[in-house]
Amino acid sequence: MMYIAMNHFRVSKERASDFEKAWQQRESFLDDVAGFIEFHLVKGVDETDACVYASHTTWKDEAAFTDWFQSEAFRKAHSQGKLTGIILGPPQFVGWTTVNQ
């Protein structure tokens, strides 16, 4: 069973390019993490004055995600602070477990 971890972000339209640039330039420290499969940053549509994004990571299983979440690699990736002042409030986390293979 795979596990998908998503953080949803709201960003003002004026800062959308700053948000995307910050994600392109950050070091994720994911490549050598056991159980990590892939990462995508996806952009959606918001009917307000904001852009919506989701960071989308796929893992072998929830245990692999939890191990990463508690690791030094996670702390290093999330201490970069490049999103301060760009996002409209804290990200909203949603975790998903696949129900079919």
The DSSP-derived string for 4-53 is EEEEEEEEEGGGHHHHHHHHHHS----TTSTTEEEEEEEEE--SSSEEEE
Q: Give backbone dihedrals phi and psi of 79, rounded to 5 degrees, phi first.
A: -95, 5
The model's pTM: 0.82
Q: Which amino acid is at 9?
A: F
Asked whether residue 101 carries a pLDDT value surpassing 70, the answer given is no
Give the model confidence (pLDDT) of 32-56 as tens digits. Answer: 889 999 999 999 877 787 899 999 9
Q: Which domain holds residue 42?
A: 3-97
The CATH number assigned to the domain holding 79 equals 3.30.70.100
Domain count, the chain: 1
